[in-house]
Amino acid sequence: MDFLLPELPYAPDDLEPHISGRTVDVHYHKHHAGYMAKLADAIRGKPLERLLLEDIVRTAPENGDVFRNAAQVWNHTFYWNSLAPDGGGKPSGAVADLLRRDFGSIEDFKQNLATVAKGEFGSGWAWLVADRAGRLRVLSTSDADNPMRDGHQPILAIDVWEHAYYLDYQNERGRYVEACLDHLLNWRFAESNIETAAAEVPTPGRVKLAG
């Protein structure tokens, strides 16, 4: 892997008024960049350097510094893409159909994701994933953990570490999560991730996601 931090897919203040430019700036340039610097320090010049970031996230020993920093690099890149200045609201098309199939309604899905995001104790992540059977599920992970470790395909992520919202919402994580759901979730990104998951060669027992 190289150690270049992927560029933000928008300007830092493009998510205002829901997430401030100051928050995105510190989150990206200090936190995200910091994880990348620590990962580089840990693996530069070692065999692990030749692996893809995703493979390190999937296979590195749990709770080691290599795993933590690699996962935080991956998770944050995924998070930036999970948000968009013109996002939020209700999805349409294939994503909407799958959410209705697996959660009953879009509203039930949003409530489910909000509950999980607000309920994760301490630092972590809230995810929409496709599980091994091809069904959409909502789950949370603690600290740096990533659903790919359990064979799930991430579709969308919300960072619920305090550094993601404290400058804008102080301790009110719920208001930040609602702002993500109502105004920022990037449904186009979700759709492309669902297409990727659906394109994987179906294994016995695996249900196709779409099509």
Residues that bind Fe ion (CB under 5 A): 159, 161, 164
Q: Considering the complex, state which of residue 71 and residue 128 has its C-beta at the smaller distance from Fe ion.
A: 71
Where do the DSSP E strands lie in the chain?
124-130, 136-142, 153-159
Phi, psi of 86 (to 5 degrees): -110, 30
* Cβ 62 to Fe ion shortest distance, Å: 20
Which two three-digit tokens encode residue 153?
Answer: 């395909």
Burial class (CB in 10 A: 0-12, 13-18, 19+), 182: middle
* Cβ 97 to Fe ion shortest distance, Å: 31
* Cβ 123 to Fe ion shortest distance, Å: 8
Burial class (CB in 10 A: 0-12, 13-18, 19+), 166: middle
* Cβ 201 to Fe ion shortest distance, Å: 33
Torsion angle of alpha carbons 169, 67, 81, 133, nearest 10°?
A: -110
Q: Considering the complex, state which of residue 70 and residue 164 has its C-beta at the smaller distance from Fe ion.
A: 164
Q: Considering the complex, state which of residue 32 and residue 152 has its C-beta at the smaller distance from Fe ion.
A: 32
Under 8 Å between Cβ of 161 and 148? no
* Cβ 195 to Fe ion shortest distance, Å: 26
Q: Considering the complex, state which of residue 103 and residue 161 has its C-beta at the smaller distance from Fe ion.
A: 161
Report the alpha-carbon distance of residue 75 to residue 185 in Å, rounded.
15
Phi, psi of 15 (to 5 degrees): -90, 0
Q: Considering the complex, state which of residue 77 and residue 153 has its C-beta at the smaller distance from Fe ion.
A: 77
